[in-house]
Structure 1
Amino acid sequence: MLKIIRFTFYFLWLMAVTAIGLIFCLFRPFHPDNLRLIGRLFGKVIAPVMGVSFELRGKEILDNNRPMVMIAPHQNNLDLIIGGLGIPARTVSLGKIQLLQIPVFGWFYWLSGNILINRTNKRKAKYSMEKVTENIQGKNISIWIMPEGTRSR
């Protein structure tokens, strides 16, 4: 029963934070710290509810003020807790374009400054990856990639 209550609260809080994040991003669209601020809001409330704790090792690497590419596994929705609490400043993520089809969450994800990639069209995918390179090199932005997001293949 406790598990059902926890996961119900998880999804209700996720929807609330997504709506708050969408409104926040309307005032600061595409800012590279949007994801970090909203992710921390989500994680700080939901981690104790879900009984999740973690220790961040190598924080000095994340705080070096240098752009980087971070690769992390993405196995389930609980990954959002750890990601939200551990994401460094000026970081955006790379996600599939289909996320835009999810009402409210997709809009928030896009307005957060994340990079959407069309994996079905190689030309557009290549353009998106060029945009990633441009962001890393020219705007001092780090990229967070979760390649295990596709589990159906």
Structure 2
Amino acid sequence: MVPRGRRPVAPRIGHAVDTAVGWTRLSLRTAIYAGTSSTVGAITPGPHLSQWLFARWCRATLRQIGVTVDAEGLEPTREHAPCVLVANHLSALDIPVLGAVLEGDYRWVAKRELFRVPFVGWHLWSAGHIPVDRKAGRKAVGPLQDRIDRVLRDGASVLLFPEGTRSKDGALQKFKMGAFQAAVRAGVPLVPIVLDGTQAIVRKGAFTLDPSAPRRVTIRGLPPVPYDADLARRDPDAAARALREATYARFVEALDGLRGAEGAALRPYPPVAARAAE
């Protein structure tokens, strides 16, 4: 008989072996794709081939771990390009999930630490993605805005996580101003992308998949959030604040709908809460 509250040893060993094999396969695939991408980026004009390779890596990664993506409503991400894309951030898995389904020319805004990771960082630099130094605080705002402006002027969209970091429990966090200031400053549409389900598969701080979690992720693209162009000219900060509030309300409404209860967007996602209570 297995002691109450403890898992049998054999399944735990099996899970550890599966995890080790999975990480090895993922590391090799990442090295191959990212290495090829950075080489291609160095010898060919534009980031398009690097982006194509990144999408292939994302889809192969999701196949390896058995994740399916239910994506709807992503037409605005293409029809309104160049634009500022904003997505809620639940898990490290958000990156391959979004990369597998998004089309068109776009750049990520990612923490600078990722640009220093071998292979991964080489790809990020070669594909023209945008680093942000979160430790620099307000001093990073000006250079970041300039980089975003250049990308948008060149006709590519920019993708940001306005929460700034992953949610620890699946609840929607407050939005920072950067994405909304960027949209108002450039005069481009702001298009929301709502994610749900990744936090149950790979929790923040975890290095393994939860074997009990459903391997299905939901993505919903929403129409652009309008903002007052006259106010943007007169008082861009006020316009950005209004845009942030309107966008946050859209995310709350969409997540409440996906989770089937009013207020669910602002509460811990049920599977995460259940594990924390054990």
2:127 pairs with 1:112: yes
Counterpart position of 1:22: 35
Pick the aligned partner of 1:48 from 60, 63, 70.
63
C-alpha distance in 1 between matches for 2:74 and 2:60: 21
C-alpha distance in 1 between matches for 2:16 and 2:93: 13
What is the deviation of 1:45?
A: 1.9
2:116 pairs with 1:101: yes
Question: Structure with the greater relative contact order (CA < 8 A, sep ≥ 6): 1 or 2?
Answer: 1
Secondary structure of the residue aligned to 2:109 is strand
Taking a change above 3 Å as real, the CA distance of residues 139 and 68 of structure 1, as seen in their structure-2 partners, is: same
Structure 1 portions without partners, runs of 5+: none
Secondary structure of the residue aligned to 1:120 is helix
What is the deviation of 1:36?
A: 3.3
Residues 1-153 of structure 1 mapped to structure 2, 5 A cutoff: 1=14, 5=18, 8-9=21-22, 12-29=25-42, 31-34=46-49, 36-64=51-79, 66-121=81-136, 122-136=138-152, 138-148=153-163, 150-151=165-166
Alignment RMSD: 2.9
C-alpha distance in 2 between matches for 1:65 and 1:34: 22
Structure 2 portions without partners, runs of 5+: 1-13, 169-278
Secondary structure of the residue aligned to 2:70 is coil
What is the deviation of 1:80?
A: 2.8
53-62 or 115-124: bigger deviation: 115-124
Secondary structure of the residue aligned to 2:134 is coil
Taking a change above 3 Å as real, the CA distance of residues 11 and 84 of structure 1, as seen in their structure-2 partners, is: farther
7-16 or 78-87: bigger deviation: 7-16
Taking a change above 3 Å as real, the CA distance of residues 42 and 10 of structure 1, as seen in their structure-2 partners, is: farther
Secondary structure of the residue aligned to 1:135 is helix
What is the deviation of 1:41?
A: 1.3
Secondary structure of the residue aligned to 1:54 is strand
In structure 2, give the amino acid aligned to 1:28. G
C-alpha distance in 2 between matches for 1:116 and 1:132: 10
CA offsets, 1:107-142, max 9 Å, x none?
Answer: 222222101122333334311212202211x11111
The answer to whether the 8 Å contact 2:112/2:133 transfers is yes
Rg bigger for which structure?
2
Taking a change above 3 Å as real, the CA distance of residues 57 and 99 of structure 1, as seen in their structure-2 partners, is: same
TM-score by length of 2: 0.47
CA offsets, 1:65-117, max 9 Å, x none?
Answer: 62111112333222233112112211110012222232222222222210112
TM-score by length of 1: 0.78
The answer to whether the 8 Å contact 2:85/2:157 transfers is yes
15-24 or 112-121: bigger deviation: 15-24
C-alpha distance in 1 between matches for 2:73 and 2:103: 12
In structure 1, give the amino acid aligned to 2:82. P
